[in-house]
Amino acid sequence: MILGSAFLIILYLIFRYIIAWITYYNYLDPRLGESTWRFTYDYPVVGERDISDLDDKDFVRLRRKKNKIILLMYSIVLVMFVSSMSLLSKFLLFFTS
């Protein structure tokens, strides 16, 4: 149980670090939006076209970086959920037996 708790704390710290990166990417270009949880493909971008690297190379690369970080954030959230359910079951088994 101690290792599970330590693992969840470490995952939470990694999660906060990823959120800081997403916030940083949001401030680099206003076209990325203010959302932390949404991929950049989920909403239209006002301004220049952003379909490929040929249109707006810097923005497209920044958007791809942000999408990778958001995907990493979702995977960390999934691992945290599974770990918390495992830890909860260990607590319940410990206190009921």
Tell how far CA 53 is from the center of its chain.
Answer: 24
8 vs 30, residue with greater confidence: 8
28 vs 97, residue with greater confidence: 28
User: What pTM does this model have?
Assistant: 0.81
Domain borders along the chain are 2-96
pLDDT tens, position by position, 21-75: 999 998 998 888 888 888 877 666 666 555 666 667 788 888 889 989 999 999 9
| pLDDT of the residue at 44 | 61
Whether 6 has a pLDDT exceeding 90, the answer reads: yes
Say how far apart CA 25 and CA 10 lie, in whole Å.
Answer: 23
pLDDT tens, position by position, 80-92: 999 999 999 999 9
